[in-house]
């Protein structure tokens, strides 16, 4: 028998324009005593903008705005958890995460830490979270990472030079609100970069050797939707924002049953060594993937052009040998996706010279 895997996806989701207004009803069902409180983690973009969303924050609640200049660290997750504990000796009745992948991941991490104790770095890896997290609701405001539906929350561990999630069933949100009106304000470039995370994830897993029929089905449908959005001439029209929100959700569901391929390891190298955010780093790499994904790279370039997006250039120009060596190490360390894409002997072809040559084109 093959290894026994028992997959789980999100239990409940509400989809539709204005769905965010249902948050109040969902929270009312969680607030059973007068001192029950909710912790909200909200992307800092929404500071001063929550009034128009009828956001149901009560005086006893804790509202935290999450800054997104840097991707989240284990220290940040520990710090945020300590703040919740300082707010009340009692545990919150619900944790809400509303924002992009950064905010959604911070909320997931804190919900795990509040019930499990310990430090965020103790749970970086696979199935290290031992107790169910606090009940949590996720509300994505930019589509593409699939963080709303995945079983991980990606954190940078600066001391260990490691970017790794708390990969666990307990990390999954209990409830999602998918409201396409929320993505209307996303800047065009960001919308493209984040949306492409779904595209890249799906093409990588469908080209890999590790396959799962359910994961494949999620990926195929997500890829179809995401291609429709970015092949069109108005990627941010309402109908396309709806499609991309569905694609992101399906892509996130696929992650549980699949691995990424060559793009994500290179992208992680750019994030770890040069601090470039995940979704932009992915696009920079995807633009140079003709040796590995020729058809998809051509399609990617076509979508860039159709949407009038210009990627930054010469990102790796003038890097020292030491930086190149670090880029190489932080790329080839990703054994699972690289084996999935290139086989167990991937280092025979992915030599320092080859990796360096590819980065130099970015």
Among 133, 279, 324, 327, binds ligand NAD (CB under 6 A): 279
Q: What is the C-alpha separation between 244 and 222, in angstroms, rounded?
A: 8
**CB of residue 215 to ligand NAD, shortest distance in Å:** 14
Q: Are 59 and 36 in contact (CB under 8 A)?
A: no
Residue with nearest beta carbon to Zn ion: 197
* Binding site partner of 183, from ligand NAD, Zn ion, none, Cβ cut-off 5-8 A by kind: ligand NAD
**CB of residue 120 to ligand NAD, shortest distance in Å:** 14
197 binds Zn ion (CB under 5 A): yes
Stretch that binds ligand NAD, among 57-65, 102-110, 205-213, 296-304 (CB under 6 A): 102-110
100 binds ligand NAD (CB under 6 A): yes
x/- track of binding to ligand NAD for residues 224-253 (CB under 6 A): ------------------------------
Q: Do β-strands 62-66 and 38-43 pair in parallel, antiparallel, or remain unpaired?
A: parallel
Stretch that binds Zn ion, among 195-203, 221-229, 290-298, 299-307 (CB under 5 A): 195-203
Among 153, 176, 276, 281, binds ligand NAD (CB under 6 A): 153
Closer CB to Zn ion, residue 96 or residue 279?
279
Q: Which residue has the tokens 């600066």?
A: 158
Residue with nearest beta carbon to ligand NAD: 101
- The total of other beta-carbon atoms located within 10 Å of residue 208's CB is 20
Give the residues across from 43 on adjacent strands: 66
Q: Which residue has the tokens 């949100």?
A: 173
Q: What is the C-alpha separation between 92 and 7, in angstroms, rounded?
A: 28
Among 145, 219, 257, 258, binds ligand NAD (CB under 6 A): 145
**Dihedrals φ, ψ of 304, to 5°?**
-55, -50
**CB of residue 166 to ligand NAD, shortest distance in Å:** 9
262's tokens? 């060559």
136 binds ligand NAD (CB under 6 A): no
Beta strands in the chain (DSSP E): 12-15, 38-43, 62-66, 94-99, 125-126, 136-140, 154-157, 162-167, 175-178
194 binds ligand NAD (CB under 6 A): yes
- Looking at residues 16 to 75 of the shown chain, list those that interact with ligand NAD (rule: CB under 6 A): 43-45, 68, 71
Q: What is the C-alpha separation between 173 and 9, in angstroms, rounded?
A: 9
**CB of residue 201 to ligand NAD, shortest distance in Å:** 8
Q: Which of 273, 361, 280 is nearest to 325 (CA)?
A: 273
**CB of residue 40 to Zn ion, shortest distance in Å:** 25
Give me the helices (H) in 165-277, please: 188-207, 213-231, 238-255, 263-274
**CB of residue 28 to Zn ion, shortest distance in Å:** 35
**CB of residue 283 to Zn ion, shortest distance in Å:** 11
Query: Measuring CA to CA, how many Å separate 155 from each of 67, 98, 126, 203, 255?
Result: 14, 17, 13, 24, 17
**CB of residue 96 to ligand NAD, shortest distance in Å:** 15
Q: What is the C-alpha separation between 121 and 219, in angstroms, rounded?
A: 30
Binding site for ligand NAD (CB under 6 A): 43-45, 68, 71, 99-103, 105, 141-142, 144-147, 150, 152-154, 165, 182-183, 185-186, 190, 194, 197, 255, 277-279
Binding site for Zn ion (CB under 5 A): 197
């Amino acid at each position: 028998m093959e290894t026994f895997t028992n997959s789980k996806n999100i239990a409940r989701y509400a989809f539709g324009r204005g769905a965010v207004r249902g948050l109040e009803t969902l929270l009312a069902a969680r607030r059973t005593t007068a001192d029950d409180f909710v912790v909200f983690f909200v992307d800092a973009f929404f500071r001063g903008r929550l009034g128009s969303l009828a956001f149901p924050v009560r005086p006893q609640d804790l509202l935290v705005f999450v800054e997104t200049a840097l991707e989240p660290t284990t220290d940040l997750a520990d710090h945020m958890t300590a703040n919740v504990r300082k707010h009340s000796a009692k545990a919150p009745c619900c944790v809400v995460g509303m924002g992009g992948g950064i905010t959604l991941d911070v909320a997931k991490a804190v919900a795990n830490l509040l019930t499990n104790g310990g430090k965020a770095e103790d749970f970086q890896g696979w199935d290290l979270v031992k107790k169910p997290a606090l009940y949590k609701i996720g509300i994505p405001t930019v589509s593409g990472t699939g963080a709303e539906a995945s079983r991980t929350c990606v954190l940078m561990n600066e001391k260990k030079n490691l970017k790794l999630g708390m990969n666990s069933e307990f990390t999954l949100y209990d409830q999602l609100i998918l409201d396409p009106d929320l993505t209307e304000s996303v800047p065009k470039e960001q919308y493209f970069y984040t949306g492409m995370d779904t595209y890249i994830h799906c093409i990588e897993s469908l080209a890999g050797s590790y396959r799962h029929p359910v994961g494949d089905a999620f990926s195929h449908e997500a890829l179809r939707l995401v291609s429709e959005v970015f092949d069109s001439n108005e990627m941010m029209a309402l109908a396309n924002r709806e499609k991309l929100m569905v694609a992101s959700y399906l892509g996130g569901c696929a992650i549980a049953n699949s691995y990424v391929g060559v793009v994500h390891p290179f992208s992680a190298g750019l994030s770890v060594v040069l601090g470039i955010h995940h979704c932009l780093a992915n696009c920079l790499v995807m633009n140079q993937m003709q040796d590995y994904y020729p058809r998809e790279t051509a399609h990617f370039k076509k979508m860039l052009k159709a949407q009038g997006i210009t990627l930054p250039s010469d990102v790796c120009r003038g890097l020292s040998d030491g930086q190149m060596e670090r880029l190489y190490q932080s790329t080839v360390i990703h054994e699972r996706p690289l084996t999935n894409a290139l086989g167990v002997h991937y280092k025979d072809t992915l030599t320092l010279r080859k990796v360096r040559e590819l980065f130099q084109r970015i």
